[in-house]
Amino acid sequence: MVRRGRTSIVREVKEALDAIDRIGHSKKLAREKGEHAIHSIKQKKNTMSDAQNFAKWVRAEHGIKSLSDLEEKHYQKYMAHLNEKGLSNGHMRNVETSLRLLQEGFKKRAERFGGAIERFKEFCPEKRTVSYKISENIQNRAYTVQEIDAIRQNCSSEVQKAVDLMYGLGLRVKEAANVLASHFYEDKNGWHLQINKGTGITKGGRFREVTVSNEFKVRLVSLLHEKAPNEKLIKVSTTTIRDGINMACKKAGVEQAGRGTHGFRHAYARKRAEQLMTSIEHNMLERILSNREVGRKADYSINSEKDKLLFASTRDKMNIIHSELGHGANRWELAMRYLKN
């Protein structure tokens, strides 16, 4: 009889992350149940890379051959190793998130194998080793109206359509490339985008709903003209769109400065803030974000009933914008990136 050898630590990493693969399942429901899982292909790819790099490092540097042999000291030494390499805080925070998911997956895997749970022990510290700075790398990434016009003039007609969908509806480039005619409908209140099953379209396959503005209605109708329900609005891939925008920026002399296709979403967010928020709500938003920038609670020093009502209305309008962008509610750190002056 041939006996199977011990599973390698790299293989254990894969099995652990497979154990918490919830791609296609509701992230919101998982959070409500207190579950930590993987909900998108991109997240799994990045987590797998981080976790396997860690596994290979502890195997080479400390002779660790199984996840069950890991201790907190190995985690701490690996993070110190990354710090010595000069990795950014943001990158290291992502690695910490990946290692916490690895630990969760290892626990789930151990539970499935019954007796293996006895060998499970946590190797991640209770608190993260990398501090979170909400103001890190904050900059206005939105293209101006003039820049968007210049980019459009130097794009093919199909890439122009993508630019219009990203700027007009706040779509990500993948969403613009894959949205279908059937995702749009008109009722007495106007046109709407609604994606119920977002697998392969939205980030994490999440539900998405956007009310189409009056200024974008005419352009949307032209994009939908003679399109079958299951037909995409754009005939080119995300790669073609990115390459086309990159080339258009060079031709137009528009400095991308890391904005890429996301700069159109940022421009959409700021345009929506102008449409939805009053001047005093804009001032309140800046006050809130200034609190968060220095690590205070969003409602710090907001005490009067008048200010509390203003805080609530500002938060509600920010959450409308977040929802249209496909973000969760009350994400002040994202508001810092998309809306801060």
Q: Residue 24's pLDDT is what?
A: 83
6 pLDDT higher than 70 = no
Mean of the per-residue pLDDT values of the chain: 90
Backbone Cα Rg of the chain? 23
pLDDT-derived band at 185 (thresholds 50, 70, 90) equals: very high
Between CA 109 and CA 40 the distance in angstroms is 19
Average of pLDDT values for 235-262? Answer: 94
Residue showing tokens 């509600």 = 316
Which H, E and C letters describe 165-232, residue by residue? HHHHHCCCHHHHHHCEHHHEEEECCEEEEEECCCCCCCHHHCCEEEECCHHHHHHHHHHHCCCCCCCE
Among 152, 169, 133, which residue's Cα sits nearest to residue 293?
133
Half-sphere exposure of 294 (CA within 13 A, CB side): 8
Question: pTM score, two decimals?
Answer: 0.67
Question: Does residue 193 register a pLDDT over 70?
Answer: yes
What does the pLDDT read at residue 1? 37
* Average pLDDT of the residues in 214-233: 96
Instruction: Assign 239 a pLDDT band (cuts: 50, 70, 90).
Output: very high
* pLDDT for residue 174: 95
- Mean predicted confidence (pLDDT) in 243-251: 96
pLDDT at 4 over 70: no
Residue type, 169: L
